[in-house]
């Protein structure tokens, strides 16, 4: 069993890549065999029909992912730190949780779930801050075969309720509140609101964290400390089929309703672990830190499952980069001598703006590898990161991937594949990337630009959208028959390196969070005065993109400032503060096509600051709308 990467040179990479092209099945089965423990081996490696979005890996194998992430490490590294937990407040005591302690905590939590009637296949919703109990709960679900659905603790009551209901979750685990910088989020109160409309929830477990006053509903709510008190730390792992769902994670789509992406057990495990070890070149003893929240896929794959399956030491940070000051990340790197640091472009851009003394006052010499993920990184931010944090000696792995892909797809391999600023680089072994044109033809050759697709299944890909397989087929496998369509545009240079240019659909990535414009429009439309809203993204120097809302009212609001704050509140309540528009413009009309579709292409240009050159507007039903909007803009001094 090896937990480090087999790729040690560029020619190793090429060999692995070619082997994976020639025979994907033997490529993945040899990794699955050498790097993981199985209760029973598979009798077929892969079966697929992409036209039906039917994909299965490691057929009929039996395993439990927590045996791979925890149990098998106990004999070799029981005392090694599995998770370093750094609290929001630097004055509070940090925790270093060894693999043995993690095992005990996960087993006790698993027994707590069982005592509450949770069984294999049941859905459990986790709405929690970044505290160790979130990690325990995720792994405890996996231990007993319950399907976890983590909902990011920044989401509103309505978003939480929608997600709980979509998957008919039986249990909710939350906290009284969550610390984020100087703020406290009243998680239990938000959950209470959500639960007004969630008939499937039978019990709620509440972990005390902030000491915030909460209401406990008799017969439904119980404290974590009480529920876990009498539990033993022995809970045999449930035997799972390779294709049993491991978790559901919601991601925004181009239409209103978020999609519950379903990930399998074995394929996801093999993919998260392989990409972790390969891309970061994790070595025994390294301290690794991914700054994501476990509420997103990056946290699932690269705080928990990937690093733990490799026996790594993974740092989990409760707080935000700006608290108590903007030097917090560098303070933590220094404190724990972090070797591998993985963050998002939006954080890099924000930190690049602040006083350099906050960087220089910390010792960053432990760093070996830097990573970025979530959105395209601009050259300026790439260079700043490389020079000031990496001191010119750390490779930057700009990893492109998605909630749907389960793990990294196109990425440099640290210290091994050449780097080009702003390029995600070459596809990882096992990833058959290609570019397609708008007419459905593959664009061959180098030096091309098109829509990024993947031609062959890989083990980590999502298997379906929870409860709506047809939507899975339509969203990802219908645009280009028998291919997975990513929704991203990309350029490929003369040497075959990919540079992701951004979404080609109605998803906007704000500070690394995917937001569906339709979802935001729905929220704004709830305002009694609003007739119609059109939401687009536009470039923003820190957030990557920001939201611009064009709003048409039936009658003009009496007080425009009140109206704006009412709209912002609606978006906050319905989706969460992250989705709040940066700009709201009242307009007389929205430009529409003859079939009644809003011409977002034009609105995108206006939001980006263009005032002419709107291209062909002849298909518009109301071309005059464009000029009225420009006048509306002028009137508000934009």
**Piece of the chain touching ligand 7RM by CB under 6 A; list 218-226, 321-329, 397-405, 522-530:** 397-405
- Which DSSP category does 463 fall into? -
Smallest gap, in angstroms, from Cβ of residue 52 to ligand 7RM?
23
- If one asks whether residue 503 binds ligand 7RM (CB under 6 A), the answer comes out as yes
CB-based burial, 545-561: b 16+ in 10 Å, e otherwise: bbbbbbbbbeeebeeee
Helix axes 600-607, 624-635, angle to 10 degrees: 30
Helix axes 560-574, 157-166, angle to 10 degrees: 30
Q: Which residue is associated with the tokens 């659905």?
A: 149
User: What is the contact mask toward ligand 7RM in residues 409 to 438, using x (rule: CB under 6 A)?
Assistant: ---------------x--------------
Among positions 127, 401, 480, 550, the unique one binding ligand 7RM when judged by CB under 6 A: 401
Choosing from 399, 414, 417, 511, the residue that interacts with ligand 7RM (CB under 6 A) is 399
- Paired strand residues for 268: none
Nearer to ligand 7RM, 24 or 516 (CB): 516
Q: In whole angstroms, how close is the CB of 302 to ligand 7RM at the nearest point?
A: 9
CA-CA distance, 424 to 296, in Å (whole number)? 20
Among 172, 500, 535, 599, binds ligand 7RM (CB under 6 A): 500
Give the DSSP H/E element, type plus range, for residue 130: none
Listing DSSP states for 223-256 in one string gives EHHHHHTT--S--PPPPEETTSEEEEEEE--SSS
Binding mask 470-489 for ligand 7RM (x = CB under 6 A): ----------------xxx-
Binding mask 374-393 for ligand 7RM (x = CB under 6 A): xxx-----------------
Instruction: Pick the closer one to ligand 7RM by CB: 460 or 591.
Output: 460
Neighbours of 229 (CB within 10 A): 10
In the range 356-375, which residues lie near ligand 7RM by CB under 6 A? 373-375
Residues of span 120-149 touching ligand 7RM by CB under 6 A: none
User: Can residue 395 be called a binding residue for ligand 7RM (CB under 6 A)?
Assistant: no
Residues 195-254 that bind ligand 7RM (CB under 6 A): 251
Q: Omega before 324 cis (within 30°)?
A: yes
Considering the complex, what minimum distance in angstroms separates the CB of residue 381 from ligand 7RM?
A: 12
Closest by CA position to 452, among listed 486, 407, 406: 486
Cα 92 from Cα 86, distance rounded (Å): 9
Residues 17-28 as b/e (b if ≥16 CB within 10 A, e otherwise) read beebeeebeebb
Q: How far apart are CA 592 and CA 291, in angstroms?
A: 42
CB 99 within 8 A of CB 70: yes
Least spacing, CB of residue 418 vs ligand 7RM, in Å: 16
CB 571 within 8 A of CB 580: yes
Task: List binders of ligand 7RM among 249-278 (CB under 6 A).
Answer: 251
Shortest gap between Cβ of 402 and ligand 7RM (angstroms)?
A: 4
Region 280-309 residues binding ligand 7RM, contact defined as CB under 6 A:
296-298
Q: Provide CB contacts within 8 A for 514, sequence distance 6+.
A: 251, 252, 403, 507, 508
Of the listed pieces 96-104, 209-217, 225-233, 399-407, which binds ligand 7RM according to CB under 6 A? 399-407
Token readout for 636 is 């508000």
Question: 281: left (phi > 0), else alpha (psi -120 to 50), else beta?
Answer: left
> Smallest distance from the beta carbon of 514 to ligand 7RM, in angstroms?
5
DSSP characters for 253-282? -SSSSPEEEEEESHHHHHHHHHHHHHHHT-
Q: Interface with ligand 7RM includes 398 (CB under 6 A)?
A: yes
**Can residue 606 be called a binding residue for ligand 7RM (CB under 6 A)?**
no
User: Is 543 in contact with 510 (CB distance < 8 Å)?
Assistant: yes
Least separation, in Å, of the C-beta of 454 and ligand 7RM?
12
Q: Which is nearer to ligand 7RM, 514 or 552 (CB)?
A: 514
CB of 375 to ligand 7RM, least distance (A): 5
Nearest to 4 by CA among 414, 316, 365: 414
**Can you tell me the distance from the alpha carbon of 546 to that of 77, in angstroms, rounded to the nearest whole number?**
45
For residue 464, give the DSSP letter. E
The least CB distance from residue 249 to ligand 7RM, in Å, is 9
Work out how close the CB of 343 gets to ligand 7RM at its nearest, in angstroms, rounded to a whole number. Answer: 12
Strands (E), 142-251: 147-150, 171-175, 178-180, 183-185, 203-207, 221-223, 240-241, 245-251
| 151 is a contact residue toward ligand 7RM (CB under 6 A) | no
Nearest distance from C-beta of residue 159 to ligand 7RM, angstroms: 15
Question: Taking the complex as a whole, how short is the minimal distance between the CB of residue 373 and ligand 7RM, in angstroms?
Answer: 5
Instruction: Closer to ligand 7RM by CB, 221 or 488: give it.
Output: 488
Number of residues interacting with ligand 7RM: please give it, by CB under 6 A: 22
- For residues 340 and 371, the answer to whether their CB atoms sit within 8 Å is yes
Three-class SS state of 568: helix
Token readout for 9 is 């040179």
CB of 353 to ligand 7RM, least distance (A): 21
Smaller CB separation from ligand 7RM, 265 or 301: 301
CB of 27 to ligand 7RM, least distance (A): 23
Of 4-33, binders to ligand 7RM (CB under 6 A) are none
- For ligand 7RM, the binding residue among 265, 514, 545, 574 (CB under 6 A) is 514
Nearer to ligand 7RM, 327 or 374 (CB): 374
For the four alpha carbons of 162, 271, 455 and 448, in that order, the dihedral sign comes to positive
- Whichever of 374 and 581 has its CB closer to ligand 7RM, that residue is 374
Q: In the complex with ligand 7RM, which residue's Cβ is closer, 31 or 409?
A: 409
**CB-nearer residue toward ligand 7RM: 3 or 486:** 486
Minimum distance, C-beta of residue 431 to ligand 7RM, in the bound complex (Å) = 14
Residues that bind ligand 7RM (CB under 6 A): 251, 296-298, 373-376, 398-403, 424, 486-488, 500, 503, 509, 514
């Amino acid at each position: 069993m090896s937990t480090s990467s087999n790729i040690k040179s560029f020619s190793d990479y090429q060999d692995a890549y070619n082997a994976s092209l020639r025979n994907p099945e033997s490529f993945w089965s040899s990794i699955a065999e050498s790097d993981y423990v199985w209760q029973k081996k598979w009798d077929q490696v892969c079966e697929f029909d992409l036209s039906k979005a039917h994909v299965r890996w490691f057929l009929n194998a039996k395993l439990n992912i927590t045996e791979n992430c925890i149990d098998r490490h106990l004999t070799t590294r029981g005392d090694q730190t599995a998770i370093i937990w750094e609290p929001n407040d630097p004055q509070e005591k940090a925790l270093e949780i060894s693999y043995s302690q993690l095992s005990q905590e996960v087993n006790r939590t698993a027994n707590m779930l069982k005592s509450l009637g949770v069984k294999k296949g049941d859905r459990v919703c986790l709405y929690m801050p970044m505290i160790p109990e979130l990690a325990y709960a995720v792994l405890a679900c996996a231990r007993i075969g319950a399907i976890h659905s983590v909902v990011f603790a920044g989401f509103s009551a309505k978003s939480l309720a929608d997600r709980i209901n979509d998957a008919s979750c039986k249990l909710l685990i939350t906290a009284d509140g969550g610390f984020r910088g100087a703020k406290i989020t009243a998680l239990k109160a938000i959950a209470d609101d959500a639960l007004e409309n969630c008939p499937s929830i039978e019990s709620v477990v509440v972990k005390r964290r902030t000491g915030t006053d909460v209401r406990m509903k008799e017969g439904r709510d119980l404290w974590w400390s009480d529920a876990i008190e009498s539990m033993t730390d022995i809970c045999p792992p449930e035997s799972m089929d390779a294709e049993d769902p491991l978790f559901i994670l919601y991601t925004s789509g181009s239409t209103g309703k978020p999609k519950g992406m379903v990930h399998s057990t074995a394929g996801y495990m093999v993919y998260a672990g392989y990409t972790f070890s390969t891309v970061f070149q994790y070595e025994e003893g390294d301290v690794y830190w991914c700054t994501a929240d476990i509420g997103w896929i990056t946290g699932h794959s690269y705080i928990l499952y990937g690093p733990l399956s490799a026996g790594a030491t993974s740092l989990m940070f409760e707080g935000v980069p700006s608290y108590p000051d903007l030097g917090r990340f560098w303070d933590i790197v220094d404190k724990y001598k972090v070797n591998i640091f993985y963050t998002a472009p939006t954080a890099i851009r924000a930190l690049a703006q602040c006083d350099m003394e906050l960087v220089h006052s910390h010792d960053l010499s432990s760093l070996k590898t830097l990573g970025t993920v979530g959105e395209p990184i601009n050259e300026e931010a790439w260079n700043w990161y490389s020079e000031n944090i990496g001191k010119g000696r750390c490779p930057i792995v700009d990893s492109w991937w998605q909630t749907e892909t389960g793990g990294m797809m196109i990425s440099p391999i640290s210290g091994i594949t050449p780097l080009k600023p702003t390029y995600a680089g070459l596809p990882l072994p096992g990833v058959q990337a290609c570019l397609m044109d708008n007419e459905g033809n593959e664009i061959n050759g180098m030096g091309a630009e098109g829509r990024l697709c993947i031609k062959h299944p890989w083990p980590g890909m999502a298997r379906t959208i929870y409860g709506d397989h047809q939507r899975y087929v339509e969203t990802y496998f219908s645009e280009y028959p028998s291919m997975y369509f990513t929704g991203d545009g990309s350029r490929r240079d003369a040497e075959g390196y990919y540079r992701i240019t951004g979404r080609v659909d109605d998803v906007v990535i704000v500070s690394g969070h995917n937001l569906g414009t339709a979802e935001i429009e729905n929220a704004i439309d709830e305002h009694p005065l609003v007739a119609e809203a059109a939401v687009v993204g536009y470039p923003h120097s820190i957030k990557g993109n920001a939201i611009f809302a064009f709003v048409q009212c039936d009658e003009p609001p009496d007080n425009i400032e009140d109206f704006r704050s009412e709209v912002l509140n609606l978006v906050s309540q319905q989706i969460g503060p992250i989705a709040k528009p940066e700009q709201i413009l009242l307009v007389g009309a929205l430009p529409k096509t003859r079939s009644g579709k809003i011409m977002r292409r034009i609105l995108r240009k206006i939001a980006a600051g263009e005032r002419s050159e709107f291209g062909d507007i002849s298909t518009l039903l109301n071309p005059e709308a464009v000029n009225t909007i420009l006048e509306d803009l002028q009137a508000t001094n934009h």
